[in-house]
Structure 1
């Protein structure tokens, strides 16, 4: 099995309060996107395609290895992954889609996803259990009920797919379709999605507090 890694890195970083795309924000002196690419490569995924904002392509090229393929992303995550998938090397028969915003994902998570694909899964995502009490509220914010946690999971990346499964699912999507992740894309096409264990270190950097916590992990 030959896998290609796609890194979605075209986000603006507005919620992070950054003056640049989030993937270029430094963590431990290196851009977030560099950490994400290294995670994939440390797990054996050599071919990597990164979807970037068009105006910042040069900035990404300056921080990433020369053999990382850069493509211009779209206005949504779905559009960016679609563009990166089209640019992925033809020899790959599996695709891992990773978020630049999850810079400290351990390579072992990637290996678990790859192993599931090698053993026949068409689609697989890393997950963690929900540990907090989870409730529903009405329009006024008043608690209306509690959701059983036993079957709830928090989904992480990289998410892995047989290439044909992901390509066919994207081909069936309207150009303006938007999903929060690629598991939702293949599920919309009728493909079951398996799970493997995620890792708390694979948390997503969304706001300034998340970046501060990531800096503590790097420093520790």
Structure 2
């Protein structure tokens, strides 16, 4: 029996119910294609690439859960990894909660991953899982910032905004996914933190509000979020480089 088979099982929850309006009209963001393949499929494969992940729960648009099931039905994945599809909610927070409810109780490590980060390398996924297994209740991959950041007083669209502070860049990180959690801690966060407005967009932030520690592990430049049309161009370039270099 391998060491991996003795380790706690890991599930990945992928909330993919959003519309992604910043990419323009058309299919939901997670179903936009990269090199002819929906981003959601790339994201599922990225999670399944980890030997530790035994279940991927995809939280689909409520009105198209069956279509997503059909899309993923014939997806070639390692035998160790199952895929489940559940309908999502009105907010990301609700969708994550619904996905978490589909995770069996014997799974003790849970990842939450953005479908819009389809190209995260497996080494990053494994680093997050390992940190949770080593005892961290919540783990986020993140990168140092390249740009100086200004805190401003928000104004209307297009209006000049007064600067109120310049945070120390060396102390700041740009957070990515998958975020990893001890399952019990994440469940407690979703029970304790009430949804307000559009709900929480960062599960690690919910855990912080419980007073639990959150730790950062190194992220990766290819784990960027595909949000705007220019991001699609960059993602296509990354895939082309992978095909040329690795036969991906």
* Residue 58 (str. 1) matches residue 73 (str. 2): no
Provide the aligned C-alpha RMSD in A. 1.5
> Does the 8 Å CA contact 1:18/1:25 hold for their aligned counterparts?
no
Partner of 1:116: 131
User: After the TM superposition, which residues 181-200 of structure 1 pair with which residues of structure 2 at under 5 Å, given as runs?
Assistant: 181-200=202-221
User: After the TM superposition, which residues 1-220 of structure 1 pair with which residues of structure 2 at under 5 Å, given as runs?
Assistant: 1-44=8-51, 45-65=53-73, 67-138=82-153, 139=155, 140-176=160-196, 178-220=199-241
- 1:46-95 alpha-carbon deviations (Å, 9 max, x no partner): 20101111111122112214641111111111010010001112220110
> Does the 8 Å CA contact 1:31/1:63 hold for their aligned counterparts?
no
Per the normalisation by structure 1, the TM-score is 0.95
Runs of 5+ consecutive residues of structure 1 not aligned to the other structure:
none
> In structure 2, how many angstroms separate the alpha carbons of the residues matched to 1:107 and 1:181?
21
How many residue pairs align between the two structures? 220
Per the normalisation by structure 2, the TM-score is 0.84
**Structure with greater Cα Rg:** 2
Runs of 5+ consecutive residues of structure 2 not aligned to the other structure:
1-7, 75-81, 242-248
> In structure 2, how many angstroms separate the alpha carbons of the residues matched to 1:13 and 1:29?
18
Residue 150 of structure 2 aligns to a residue in which SS? Answer: strand
4+ residue runs over 3 A deviation: 137-140, 142-145
> Does the 8 Å CA contact 1:3/1:96 hold for their aligned counterparts?
yes
The structure with higher relative contact order (CA 8 Å, sep 6+) is 1
TM-superposed deviation, 1:14: 1.2
